[in-house]
Structure 1
């Protein structure tokens, strides 16, 4: 396919292959089979741009790395002027140009004509015997070509005696007849030669009468020949590709490209270019798509235009009514479009475009008047026969035909329909359309049956349900401005308390309290009313968040009494949660009993937001008590209920998912944790921390994908700096990477910055700082230990001082949480002990008892952190010469690391086992005087200078990946768990260059 010239963005074929892992594995299996003497063939089918060439390039590279000779031939579209055997001439030219292979070629003079050095004989040569009886295809007609065909087959067979051969034929849909016949012969002729043949073709080019179709039907019946269809790439893979092609693209642009590309890599590449240049649809891509449309007859092209306006999927009756063709003419046109793979027939009998961008290109090619006329005709048909479409479809066509009053009415109908079926995202979309049309429709309020501020409140509720909290806040502000200072007091109060609920969820605690106070001031306490009750319930929540306990308690008592009097179960349940989760909630049994009652009342009320808040409170209460399995049970049950209520990605739906990821990670179900984090490739910004939580697993496993996810999360955090849980997920990953890379400066800076921001947003309620400081301390303790081993007293003093400051910050955070909310839970106590143990390690004390205590305390249910504590305990026991105890702890930690796939932890455990000469399954001790290769010596010197892998690669003219391999080898040879430790050990042994 011709490609557009794209400036400023990388190409898809630059860098590692994205996706297609299973397809590549299947192709490599065929190569391996051929290398073992079992020749085979694969016919790779895929639409234009699906990635056939990129996949075959990667196959060729991998095959060459395995010692396979790769011969590649390309077919070219030359129209009616075909060059016979062109792809085979292409693949044999490197053979002819290789002096070492000249004797092989010389023994087959008939090939000289094929390669331009002679002529192909017109009569067959000596009888060569039929192909093997194991093959079912007959030889080609005896028209003088048999000798040529056998010569090609014999040449490949002889080459394969030296090394296996992979024959790659690209774009078989353009192959001439002679090449098709030769391919047919080869696949029938090869029996035990070490040859694999892989041929690609465009599935969307094979119309019913295409000459390749009968050949493919024959070939797939051969033993050893299979068809491999390249399906569209999953959205997650397209997202990876898009972010690589357009580094730094806004998230909205990435999501748009992913949605529009529909799994087609070439389309994604062109759309990224459009995103950088501002084009709606790249001209080159539009030209490619329209070129296929222009191959149709005039009637079929007109049918496509009607179908494009009607929608991605369209009924036959609608095309017939709008297009106006006679039945026979219409059916012939539709058949032509289907046979040319521009339209496909869905299971429900509708016609749909093979790809959404094809429809976009057809739409863009319409003249403005034609577009308006067709939309009006479609809208009229839908109005005449409502059963053929929905209100949403009718609204779209009315809007595009400039009937704005009709579009507003239809959008209201569509919003109500979405509300009735519990589809808040669609309801939001339609209500947003209503608001956009409001000013242009003079009688909008009469059509809506309510004033604009009421529509704004409904729209804000829908935005809240789908997790778009910032949009909901903006809509509520707009409603408040419309009401003004003299507006209805109850309506204004409703706006204020709803705003307070949303602001509290985006960490705007002071603003939330101001709004709930304003709501209370607008409505009297007597007589009890729904609005006053909710205002009081909300005020209790916002006051507790600021530590204003007496004010919060008074508002809560009022809300509970009024809710009971009015039978308002939702407000009662919401207030009960605020009391249970507040400072005076009581012991765990009392809290749980109150929450269970709240859950029953919330379910009875039908308020999805309150009910999911209760489920989350049950889960987080169990989690805070260290009952991890119970917390996971509540989280999964709450998520199931949120799905039933269609609020899975509302605020508390996302929080339940967040807890599911954390608990699965703690319990050692890392695959389940990552699946939960990645359940959606695109999540609402408010729920970004859920996807960022996947960093726990990616970083813990040393997965390179962590870097890309971390970059994505940082970009979002830069736009939303009050998203605390996103901040925590990012900082945790950054600290873990700093520990792994021996970068204590980064660890200290990130931990301190995060703690300052947590104090600003959460005040004393930040026990998570204990975990952050303890993790940062690990990097600082490594640096202090390395300086101590190297005899660097100044460096040791510096890092010990840093460790003491970090420990003080962590203890202050823990003490503040205790003062405000009572004793820490099991997890908090475990991290407090870890903090003390890491400080002792930094100060040079083994602290075996502290590490033993950390192992015991993380036994509440955090498998990974317990294993990491075992590693440090083993280190401390080795320092005390308790080799048996150290071996037992290392064995337990190793089992967990292997089971979780926690590569960095496994490396550290095995390094300590080597260094301590301890037995560990599969680990071989390395002698203390291990020496390095010359390249490793160069790399070690740069590591000692603090260079990153990328900097090392640039200085030594090697890739970053190669530099990483050298660093890993150095760590293994020294038995070091980190770069800092490796430098210290190498210095102590005199292995540093110049040392």
Structure 2
């Protein structure tokens, strides 16, 4: 090991961190021959006996690698070490998914009903498999620190790459060091690994290292370490450095040609260098190496024996010569090329006919192995028959490989194989008979695999292509319409409802003709339609459609479908104001689920959300956490579990459980959930930042994530209202009334009556915007101010229209208090905030506003009492923003609060909060900063301040930041209030 001391030390340092409970991932890249493998081997040799190594290597199978190939190798090492029984016991509820990946586990005695597990595995999703592997690694790492090593990521399959993304975030409580290597020059534009590498650079628990070339002195040291019997002269050393460019493998090859004794013999090209050892071998050994190169970087002795045409003795003799000359190495029962570059050079040297014959031999050998049932090898068979240019035999293997990938929840690989099968469809005889399905059905299944792999746009494109080829009287037509509707919803695009309605129309004629599958499909389409209608707040239609779905499901005897349909009908009725009937219907839906995991999760999602919206926060938390526990048991924490986690977050905030809620958010975001679920979590995180006193940080994060939220907002009213409300609160917190108005005015343009549970707090924020525009006319342009004030009537009418909702009296009281802005109205708001259905942050906020109103009225004793109560309530409830603002308001008014400190007032380094004279708060401001502060107090934006003072908006922003820091204010609003109070 020369020139890699720091990298080796870093690996050992990270291993010690993992040993102490700090899991980490290191990604090591570099060009071919730079020494990645050598570094890893040295690291492996130094591992202590108490460290478990689970290693896998990606396989070069062209554009579609065998799904989970490197992961299977690593996990089989664990199974061989601890036994199948212990592995299945450790993985618990995830055993079905694990058996789908490793079918040999089904024979274990621990699998009480192996057949049942295998059947269940057929429906295991990738999320369940990911969870199962994470649990497995986490569990066994408690016993022994684990190094999880995957080499050659440039050949990785899509399924394994998705798993690595998950594990890097999910192994937070493990003792696992994940080590990944890749060849950098192979990761070209468009390579799937490219995006992965960009992502990992942003993760604080991941480190990426690129190995550099050796220096001249390091090359000299390496050459001298390789030549032990004599010392090469300086000219030879310089020649080796020049021709190797400091790449260690090339140095070794140059030295290995003849020990550098003949400085005149240096290959002219890289190809000559790579083939130098190979060409010195006898023809029998060269033929073996050509055959071996067709099989991959590594081939087992058994497989090589099956494809080799000579005797066993001839095989052994040829292999021995290749090992002796340093072209091959032996690793257990496998032969491996000493370096992948050598294999690639030999492979490129094959004649076309020779290559095809070798591929055919491998395909036949893998077919024989597959018939024995020892491994799933259809992907390998497909690859080699394609290499042999035999499409007829490649096609059935490709179809089987697609099924195997689907069974192992490797949806990305299944989709790639489906696309390969479609490309072969028109060149093989009777493809429908061979495939066991029509071309349209294959297109539909491939689109489904793409969707499950997260390739929403590609799945949509493929299902569109299928519909373009599909006659309207084809049995697949209504199913493809349904799929297109679902895929549109997945990518956040409108248009699902008309497609589902069209699908129902197409199904009616088939049902009239006695088509039984059409009746079953009709139930799923009706349920999907009811769900989309509910999400778009077309509630009467949603109830009607869900009732039809319920009747059809009961007629078919499907309890699961009946439960989901009744669930949707009940939530829609509740949103219409029939809350008690809706809650009763949800309980009936739970009973109908009869233990069905999928239907129960739908119950927990909707029930927890409804209880939160009606103000029963403890019950909402209980239901969400109950469902989350079940989601983890079923291995779907990344999908249903994320929704349930977000459903627990809001009621926890309402109860003042900020830390518990924050932990749920971070855990769920770490699971890299699908886009809509991420939006729910980000919205909650942003809102918490505002009320925990970090509005500027919230504004920065909102600017970053808002574009990714737009698609979901377009098709989900609850998301439009939730994100819009948070956006308005952030804008108000940083003093941008115009931005707040752009957020709240949306509610007046909704085509349907807004969902009450989401709309009521939105209307309260809208009232704050109206009050800000009225009380600070300079904060918005005149025309916009008139528009805002004119909207007050519409907001009032909507607040009255939503009077049927249980929490409306609470929000109505706050709505009126914001607009009246007097002590009487705020006393009513304080009373409303003491109701059990009021969210916890509202009481300290109302008390703060009451204190401000009392100060404005000149009643200092009443103001002090209200501000003290606000401060105490904010401290108890963790509402940091109110706590700080109450302390600052009291300080500016010269009112002392018990328990308040300079830190509470946000004085920081300026010492403002602790000053006896409030006027000292501006002592550290420059003359220009005083001018800027005065304009902040008038509500002007940075751009407007710049125009007024003839400076740039960016310069104004710098002044604003300095003012906030010196005043200890957390937002422009607080700085403006303090400036007015001081003035």
TM range (shorter): 0.5 to 0.7
Matched, 1:578 2:602: no
Change (3 A) 1:944 1:689: same
- Residue 930 of structure 1: SS of its match in structure 2? helix
Q: Which moved more, 1:832-841 or 1:550-559?
A: 550-559
- 2:619 is the alignment partner of 1:634: no
Matched with 2:706 is 714
Report how far residue 825 of structure 1 moved.
3.6
**C-alpha displacement of 1:743:** 1.2
**1:771 corresponds to:** 761
The aligned counterpart of 1:889 is 869
- Counterpart for residue 471 of structure 2: 484
Higher relative contact order (CA 8 A, sep 6+): 2
Give a deviation string over 1:627-686, Cα, whole Å, max 9, x none: 223223333333444455555555x66543432343344344444444444434543334
Could you tell me which residue of structure 2 aligns to residue 14 of structure 1? none
Distance 2:726 2:349 in 1: 52
Distance in 2 (alpha carbons) for counterparts of 1:317 and 1:299: 26
Pair 306,801 (structure 1): closer, same or farther in 2 beyond 3 Å = farther
1:742 aligns to what? Answer: 735
- The 1:614/1:443 distance shift into structure 2, 3 A limit, reads farther
Q: Residue 621 of structure 1 corresponds to which residue in structure 2?
A: 610
- 1:565 corresponds, among 548, 555, 566, to 555
Point out where structure 2 has 5 or more consecutive residues left out of the alignment. 1-10, 18-23, 48-146, 150-163, 173-177, 179-188, 213-242, 254-273, 279-287, 309-314, 903-912
- For residues 528-557 of structure 1, the C-alpha deviation after alignment (integer angstroms, 9 at most, x for no partner) is 842444455555556667787787666555
1:944-955 aligned at under 5 Å gives the runs: 944-945=934-935, 946=940, 948=942
Change (3 A) 1:290 1:268: closer
**Corresponding residue to 2:900 among 921, 934, 939:** 921
| Counterpart secondary structure, 1:824 | coil
CA distance in 1, matches of 2:733, 2:554: 56
2:359–2:388: 8 Å Cα contact kept in structure 1? yes
1:161-191 deviation per Cα after TM superposition (whole angstroms, max 9, x unaligned): xxxxxxxxxxxx9xxxxxxxxxxxxxxxxxx
Matches of 2:565 and 2:781, distance apart in 1? 53
Q: Distance in 2 between matches of 1:393 and 1:467?
A: 25
Matches of residues 594-673 of structure 1 in structure 2 within 5 Å?
A: 594-602=585-593, 608=598, 610-643=599-632, 648=637, 655-673=643-661
Greater Cα shift, 450-459 or 945-954: 945-954
Determine helix, strand or coil for the equivalent of 1:888. helix
8 Å Cα contact 2:402-2:415 kept in structure 1: yes
Change (3 A) 1:558 1:337: same
**1:244-259 to 2 correspondence within 5 Å?**
255-258=195-198
Q: CA shift at 1:718, angstroms?
A: 5.4
Answer whether contact 1:47 1:204 (CA < 8 A) is retained.
no
Q: What is the CA-CA distance between 1:448 and the residue it aligns to?
A: 1.9
Offset, 1:447:
2.6
Q: Matches of residues 338-357 of structure 1 in structure 2 within 5 Å? A: none
Are the counterparts in 2 of residues 767 and 814 from structure 1 also a CA contact under 8 Å? Answer: no
Whether the 8 Å CA contact 1:936–1:966 is kept in 2: the answer is: no
Alpha-carbon distance in 2 for matches of 1:397, 1:708: 52
1:308, 1:366 → 2: CA distance?
A: 6
CA distance in 2: counterparts of 1:786 and 1:596, whole angstroms: 50
Q: Does 1:852 align with 2:830?
A: yes
CA apart distance, 1:748? 1.0
Matched residues in 1 for 2:344 and 2:564: separation? Answer: 50
Partner of 1:824: 805
Secondary structure of the 1:480 match is helix
What is the aligned partner in structure 2 of residue 453 from structure 1? 440
CA distance in 1, matches of 2:544, 2:557: 20
Q: Given the superposition, is the C-alpha separation of residues 444 and 537 from structure 1 closer, same or farther in structure 2, using an over 3 Å criterion?
A: same
What SS does the corresponding residue of 1:485 show, helix, strand or coil?
coil
Q: Return the offset for 1:852.
A: 0.4
Name the SS of the counterpart of 1:929 in structure 2: helix
Tell me the distance in 2 between the aligned counterparts of 1:365 and 1:728.
62
The equivalent of 1:409 in structure 2 is: 396
Cα shift readout 1:98-143 (whole Å, capped 9, x = no counterpart): xxxxxxxxxxxxxxxxxxxxxxxxxxxxxxxxxxxxxxxxxxxxxx
| TM-aligned CA distance change 1:514 to 1:251, over 3 Å | farther
Against the structure 1 CA distance between its residues 620 and 986, is the aligned structure 2 distance closer, same or farther, given a 3 Å change threshold?
closer
Report what 1:966 is aligned to. 962
Q: Which runs of 5+ in 1 are unaligned?
A: 1-19, 27-43, 51-172, 174-200, 214-228, 239-248, 270-286, 339-344, 991-995
TM-score normalised by structure 2 residue count: 0.59
Question: What is the Cα deviation at residue 895 of structure 1?
Answer: 1.2
Structure 2 CA distance, aligned partners of 1:910 and 1:252?
A: 53
Q: Distance in 2 between matches of 1:252 and 1:401?
A: 27
Change (3 A) 1:672 1:605: closer
Query: Structure 1 residues 618 and 48, CA, compared in 2 at 3 Å: closer, same or farther?
Result: closer
* CA displacement 1:291-328 (0-9 Å, x = unmatched): 34434446999999999997899878779999989666
3-state SS, counterpart of residue 247 of structure 2? helix
Query: Within 5 A, what are the aligned runs for 1:776-855?
Result: 776-778=766-768, 781-782=771-772, 785=775, 804-805=789-790, 807-815=792-800, 818=802, 823-826=804-807, 828-841=808-821, 847-855=825-833
Distance 1:472 1:958, change over 3 A: closer
Q: Distance in 2 between matches of 1:419 and 1:703?
A: 46
2 CA distance for matches of 1:763 and 1:481? 37
| Residue 425 of structure 1: how far off its partner (Å) | 6.0
Contact 1:499 1:512 survives alignment (8 Å): yes
Match 1:530 to one of 515, 520, 534: 520
Decide whether aligned partners of structure 1 residues 623 and 594 sit closer, same or farther in structure 2, where only a CA change above 3 A counts.
same
Q: Is the contact between residue 542 and residue 572 of structure 2 (CA under 8 Å) also seen in structure 1?
A: no
Tell me by how many angstroms 1:290 deviates.
9.8
Q: Equivalent residue of 2:920, what SS?
A: coil
1:875 aligns with 2:852: yes
Alignment of 1:135-284 (within 5 A): 255-258=195-198, 263-265=206-208
What SS does structure 1 have at the residue aligned with 2:963? Answer: helix
Structure 2 Cα separation of the partners of residues 798 and 536 of structure 1: 47
Cα offset for 1:747?
1.0
- On the 8 A contact 2:586/2:603 being kept in 1, the answer is yes
Cα deviation, residue 768, structure 1:
2.9
Q: Deviations over 1:748-768 (max 9, x none)?
A: 12222x4366x14x5543653
- Are the equivalent residues in 2 in contact too, given 1:307–1:314 (CA < 8 A)? yes
For 1:677 and 1:573, locate their aligned partners in 2 and report how far apart those are by CA, in whole Å. 29
In structure 1, distance between residues paired with 2:451 and 2:832: 41
| Of 502, 518, 522, the match for 2:505 | 518
Distance in 2, matches of 1:989 and 1:45, equals 53
What does residue 928 of structure 2 align with?
Answer: 938
Taking structure 1 as reference, are residues 410 and 948 closer, same or farther at Cα in structure 2, changes over 3 Å only? farther
Pairs aligned (count): 725
* Cα distance in 2, alignment partners of residues 948 and 362 from structure 1: 62
For residues 60-75 of structure 1, the aligned pairs below 5 Å read none
State whether residues 773 and 807 of structure 1, in contact with CA within 8 Å, keep that contact through their aligned partners in structure 2: no
Q: Kindly tell me: are residues 977 and 539 of structure 1, through their superposed partners in 2, closer, same or farther at Cα, counting changes over 3 Å?
A: closer
- The residue aligned with 1:385 is 369
Do the aligned partners of 2:614 and 2:837 also contact (CA within 8 Å) in 1?
no
